[in-house]
């Protein structure tokens, strides 16, 4: 018996009762659809999160002296030059760069100038940082009021400060039209801007930022602690390689430049949490589908005893009978898998549309799903096919019409 | 004398029941090419057992059965299946047509397991239908045919693959008298074209058409 004969006999056997075939594969359809939809939706959702994460992460580089991020490293080695910003801006792919350092106030406290509130402590310990003018663009800071300091403020060591929104609230600073000022130690600083949002260094919201030049002048800051860089999309890893050379040409190994954390991991965690339940559900309906196919194939073997006898009389061997029933159940499974995969993909696309997401599918999924269906069909056909093949031709001919 | 198509030598068929049933007791039968033999006997006489042995659907417990000179006892189950596919054309009382397939497809089924090439299969089926006078019913489904037409389809199915032996089991048992006559006339015509025919029946009207009639009683031929 040739393969083409086998396929056409199996097809004819399945199509003899199309309505029954459809009902038979319903369980498989639902199971495969659930599996495909679950895998597709989690992949789509995962990619959505990664997409948002990556737009931010793929453009961020932070350069620090090597070893600065080790626990216990308190002193900042004088590695990064004061003109880090200018050096990095020369690199192709850098949109903005700026230094950021913590300023050691030597015990000085911070006071707000305009209003003395007796219920609040007058002096506070607030972190003060120094930055080069390009930093604000590099960390994507947004000023709700006023402006950031510029290169002139930096060069003249002006006593100006940009404060985070949280600091402004603590010090009762509302409107910049009032020309507020704050005391750091015994020195008065004009507040020229308030930061209400920053995508990359949220600590700035609770800090006072003064120009590098001012910090060097007043607090003897020896070198910048870190350089933050904003690159064009896709250039982050290149800049991370070039930055050490630009910042410390004599010994690039002294500088460590890092891109933001590995986003792929995040995706994995999101996917595994969401899916387990639905994968189990899909598996259960697939099992039910397999039992359905096994059941109907068994009934069909009983109904077709006469046909089995006839085929044996026409020269069919046991294996021909077994293979034919296996092919029929496998075909049912394959059909169920194809319909199920299509339904599952429609669900994925539907969900993606309703959330304005981009639907994402593993390319192997639409091909693997029908194969899984066929495997389920074959497995459920094993027992009925064995029963059919074990019938004696004499009994089978007598048994049916 | 030509080599026989069928040669049964002292064939016994015993069923391992308690007590054992001897359905065939030392049957000798030689059927030569072109012969038309009727096996007649009452029910329970061993007719069906003889048919099953002749059709290679069952094996003798003792004795030898040569079909076209091939000793069937030496064949495996698979070889036996292939042998009956190629050498024997079956016609059953109940027709055994597949209800969901067309007449042509039912006839084509006759050579599905014979190893004949796919090419020309439909043409061979059409030729066989032509021989039984059903060329005008090719694309009908069996449920729309009369009983006589259905049996003609079954005969056409038995004819494809050019069997050595047409084995008919009560071929007219489900048919009325007029249709019976036309089917018997068809069988006579096929015999006259050179086909070897064995008909198993309890109907005297059917056996009248045969050139030789053998009686089977209690598992023995008379």
pLDDT in tens, B129-175: 999 999 999 999 999 999 999 999 999 999 998 999 999 999 998 89
Tell me: the pLDDT tens digits for A149-171? 999 999 999 999 999 998 888 88
Structure confidence at residue A273 (pLDDT): 57
Do A103 and A198 lie in one domain? The reply is yes
Element (H, E) at B6: strand B6-15
Q: Tell me the nearest-neighbour CA distance from B136 into chain A, angstroms.
A: 23
Q: Domain end: A262, A287, A315, which one?
A: A262
Angstrom distance (rounded) from CA B193 to CA B34: 8
**From chain A, which residues contact B within 8 Å (Cβ)?**
1-2, 4-5, 9, 12, 15-17, 306-307, 309-318, 320, 393-394, 397, 401
Q: Is the pLDDT of residue B55 over 50?
A: yes
**Section B63-87 average pLDDT:** 93
- Which of B109, B151, B161, B200 should we substitute to test contact with A (largest number of A Cβ atoms within 10 Å)? B109
Q: Tell me the nearest-neighbour CA distance from A286 into chain B, angstroms.
A: 30
Q: Domain end: A262, A278, A307, which one?
A: A262
CA-nearest residue to A393 within chain B is B57
Q: Which of B83, B95, B113 is facing A1, going by the closest CB pair? A: B113
Q: Which of A170-179, A386-395, B7-16, B19-28 has the lowest mean pLDDT?
A: A170-179
Tell me: the pLDDT tens digits for A253-272? 888 888 865 444 445 555 56
3-class DSSP assignment, residue B27: strand
CA-nearest residue to A392 within chain B is B57
CB contact under 8 A, A316 and B85: yes
Environment class of residue A286 by beta-carbon count within 10 Å: exposed (0-12), middle (13-18) or buried (19+)? buried
Q: What is the mean pLDDT of chain B?
A: 92
Q: Is the pLDDT of residue A203 over 50?
A: yes
Strand order in the sheet with B6-15: B21-31, B6-15, B62-67, B70-71
Do A182 and A247 lie in one domain? The reply is yes
Tell me: the pLDDT tens digits for A8-29? 999 998 888 889 888 888 889 9
- Could you tell me the pLDDT band of residue A283, with boundaries at 50, 70 and 90? confident
CB contact under 8 A, B94 and A307: no
**From chain B, which residues contact A within 8 Å (Cβ)?**
52, 55, 57-58, 77-78, 81-86, 88, 90, 92, 94-96, 98-101, 105, 109-110, 112-114, 118, 157
Contact (CB, 8 A) for A224 and A56: no
Q: Which of A2, A315, A394 is facing B85, going by the closest CB pair? A: A315
CA-nearest residue to B53 within chain A is A394
- Could you tell me the pLDDT band of residue A401, with boundaries at 50, 70 and 90? very low
Structure confidence at residue B98 (pLDDT): 92
More confident residue, B205 or A50: B205
Structure confidence at residue A285 (pLDDT): 82
Structure confidence at residue A262 (pLDDT): 46
- Can you tell me which residue has the tokens 């031929």? B221
Residues near B157 by beta carbon (within 8 Å), at least 6 away in sequence: A314, B89, B97, B106, B107, B109, B110, B128
- Could you tell me the pLDDT band of residue A45, with boundaries at 50, 70 and 90? confident
Do A38 and A65 lie in one domain? The reply is no
Structure confidence at residue A42 (pLDDT): 81
- Could you tell me the pLDDT band of residue A58, with boundaries at 50, 70 and 90? confident
Contacts of A300 in chain B (CB under 8 A): none
3-class DSSP assignment, residue B98: coil
Structure confidence at residue B135 (pLDDT): 93
Q: How far is CA A202 from CA A160, A177, A207, B148, B191, in A?
A: 21, 26, 9, 93, 102
CA-nearest residue to B117 within chain A is A2
Q: Domain end: A262, A280, A296, which one?
A: A262
Do A169 and A236 lie in one domain? The reply is yes
- Could you tell me the pLDDT band of residue B210, with boundaries at 50, 70 and 90? very high
Structure confidence at residue B97 (pLDDT): 93
Domain span holding position A346: 3-53+264-399
Do A200 and A315 lie in one domain? The reply is no
- Could you tell me the pLDDT band of residue A117, with boundaries at 50, 70 and 90? low
**Tally of domains within chain A:** 2
CB contact under 8 A, B82 and A317: yes
Q: Which of A102-111, A220-229, B83-92 has the lowest mean pLDDT?
A: A102-111
Contacts of B150 in chain A (CB under 8 A): none
- Which of B90, B96, B153 should we substitute to test contact with A (largest number of A Cβ atoms within 10 Å)? B96
Q: Tell me the nearest-neighbour CA distance from B113 into chain A, angstroms.
A: 5
Does the N-terminal peptide bond of residue B19 adopt cis geometry, omega within 30 degrees of 0? yes
Structure confidence at residue A274 (pLDDT): 60
Do A270 and A248 lie in one domain? The reply is no
pTM (2 decimals)? 0.69
**Residue A38 half-sphere exposure toward CB, CA atoms < 13 A:** 20
* Count of all residues that appear for chain B in the document: 222
Angle value at C-alpha B182, between B180 and B188, nearest 5 degrees: 100
Contacts of B96 in chain A (CB under 8 A): 306-307, 309-310, 313, 397, 401
Percentage of chain B lying above the pLDDT 70 cut: 100
Q: Tell me the nearest-neighbour CA distance from A25 into chain B, angstroms.
A: 20
Do A314 and A374 lie in one domain? The reply is yes
More confident residue, B34 or A273: B34
Do A220 and A258 lie in one domain? The reply is yes
CB contact under 8 A, B105 and A12: yes
Do A249 and A103 lie in one domain? The reply is yes
Phi, psi at residue A148, to the nearest 5°?
-90, 160
Q: What is the mean pLDDT of chain A?
A: 85
**Residue B103 half-sphere exposure toward CB, CA atoms < 13 A:** 26
Do A38 and A19 lie in one domain? The reply is yes
**Section B99-113 average pLDDT:** 93
CB contact under 8 A, B85 and A307: no
**Residue A158 half-sphere exposure toward CB, CA atoms < 13 A:** 17
Contacts of B78 in chain A (CB under 8 A): 317
Strand order in the sheet with B196-201: B88-91, B165-169, B196-201, B36-40, B212-217, B220-221
CB contact under 8 A, A314 and B118: no
Residues near A248 by beta carbon (within 8 Å), at least 6 away in sequence: A79, A80, A81, A254, A255
B34-59+74-221: which CATH architecture? 3-Layer(aba) Sandwich (3.40)
CA-nearest residue to A14 within chain B is B100
Do A269 and A248 lie in one domain? The reply is no
- Can you tell me which residue has the tokens 């199971």? A31
- Can you tell me which residue has the tokens 């030729």? B127
Domain boundaries, chain B: 34-59+74-221
Angle value at C-alpha A213, between A209 and A216, nearest 5 degrees: 95
Q: Is the pLDDT of residue A80 over 70?
A: yes
Angstrom distance (rounded) from CA B122 to CA B138: 10
Tell me: the pLDDT tens digits for B174-192? 899 899 999 999 999 999 9
Phi, psi at residue A335, to the nearest 5°?
-60, -50
CB contact under 8 A, B113 and A306: no
Tell me: the pLDDT tens digits for A312-371? 999 999 999 999 999 999 999 999 999 999 999 999 999 989 888 888 888 999 999 999
What number of C-beta contacts closer than 8 Å exist between A and B? 74
Percentage of chain A lying above the pLDDT 70 cut: 88
3-class DSSP assignment, residue A254: helix
Q: Is the pLDDT of residue A54 over 70?
A: no
**Section B8-31 average pLDDT:** 92
Q: Tell me the nearest-neighbour CA distance from B72 into chain A, angstroms.
A: 14
DSSP string, B34-83: T-EEEEE--TTSSHHHHHHHHTTSS--SEEEEEETTEEGGGS-HHHHHHH
Q: Which of A5, A317, A394 is facing B57, going by the closest CB pair? A: A394
Do A251 and A291 lie in one domain? The reply is no
């Amino acid at each position: 018996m040739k393969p083409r004969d086998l396929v056409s006999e199996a097809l004819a056997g399945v199509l003899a009762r199309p309505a029954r075939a459809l009902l038979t594969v319903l369980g498989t359809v639902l199971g495969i659809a659930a599996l495909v939809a679950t895998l597709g939706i989690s992949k789509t959702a995962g990619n959505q999160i990664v997409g948002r994460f990556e737009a931010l992460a793929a453009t961020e580089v932070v350069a620090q002296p090597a070893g600065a991020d080790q626990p216990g490293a308190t002193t900042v080695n004088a590695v990064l030059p004061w003109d880090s910003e200018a050096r990095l801006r020369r690199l192709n792919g850098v949109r903005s760069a700026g230094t950021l350092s913590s300023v050691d106030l030597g015990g000085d406290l911070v006071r707000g100038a305009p209003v003395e509130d007796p219920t609040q402590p007058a002096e506070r310990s607030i972190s003060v940082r120094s930055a080069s003018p390009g930093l604000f663009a590099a960390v994507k800071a947004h000023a709700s009021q006023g402006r950031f300091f510029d290169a002139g403020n930096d060069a003249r060591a002006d006593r100006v400060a940009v404060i985070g929104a949280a600091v402004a609230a603590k010090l009762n600073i509302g409107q910049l039209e009032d020309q507020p000022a704050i005391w750091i130690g015994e020195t008065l600083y004009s507040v020229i801007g308030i930061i209400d949002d920053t995508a990359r260094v949220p600590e700035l919201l609770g800090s006072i930022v003064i120009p590098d030049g001012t910090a060097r002048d007043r607090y003897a800051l020896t070198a910048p602690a870190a350089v933050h860089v904003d690159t064009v999309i896709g250039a982050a890893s290149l800049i991370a390689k070039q930055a050490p050379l630009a910042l410390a040409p004599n010994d690039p190994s002294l500088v460590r430049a890092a891109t933001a954390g590995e986003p792929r991991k995040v995706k994995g965690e999101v996917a595994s949490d969401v899916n387990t339940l639905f994968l189990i559900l899909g598996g259960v309906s697939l099992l039910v589908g397999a039992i359905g196919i096994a059941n109907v194939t068994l009934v069909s073997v009983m109904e077709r005893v006469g046909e089995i006898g006839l085929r044996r009389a026409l020269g069919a061997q046991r294996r021909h009978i077994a293979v034919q029933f296996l092919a029929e159940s496998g075909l049912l499974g394959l059909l169920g898998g194809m319909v199920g995969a299509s339904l599952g993909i429609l669900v994925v696309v539907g969900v993606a549309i309703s959330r304005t997401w981009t639907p994402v599918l593993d390319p192997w999924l639409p091909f693997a799903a029908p194969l899984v269906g066929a495997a389920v069909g074959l497995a459920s056909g094993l027992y009925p096919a064995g029963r059919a093949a074990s019938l004696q031709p004499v009994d089978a001919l007598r048994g049916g019409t | 004398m030509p080599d026989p198509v069928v040669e049964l030598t002292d064939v016994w068929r015993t069923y391992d029941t308690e007590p054992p049933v001897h359905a065939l007791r030392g049957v000798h039968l030689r059927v030569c090419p072109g012969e038309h033999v009727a096996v007649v006997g009452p029910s329970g006489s061993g007719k069906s057992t003889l048919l099953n042995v002749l059709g290679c659907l069952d094996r003798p417990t003792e004795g030898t059965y040569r079909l076209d000179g091939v000793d069937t006892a030496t064949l495996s189950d698979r070889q036996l299946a292939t042998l009956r596919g190629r050498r024997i054309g079956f016609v059953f009382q109940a027709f055994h047509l597949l209800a969901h397939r067309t007449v042509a497809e039912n006839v084509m089924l006759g050579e599905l397991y014979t190893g004949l090439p796919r090419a020309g299969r439909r043409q061979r089926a059409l030729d066989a239908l032509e021989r039984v006078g059903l060329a005008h019913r090719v694309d009908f489904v069996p449920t729309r045919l009369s009983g006589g037409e259905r049996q003609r389809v079954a005969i056409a199915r038995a004819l494809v693959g050019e069997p050595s032996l047409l084995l008919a089991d009560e071929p007219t048992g489900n048919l009325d008298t007029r249709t019976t006559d036309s089917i018997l006339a068809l069988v006579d015509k096929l015999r006259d074209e050179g086909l070897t025919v064995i008909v198993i029946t309890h109907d005297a009207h059917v056996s009248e058409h045969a050139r030789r009639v053998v009686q089977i009683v209690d598992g023995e031929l008379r």
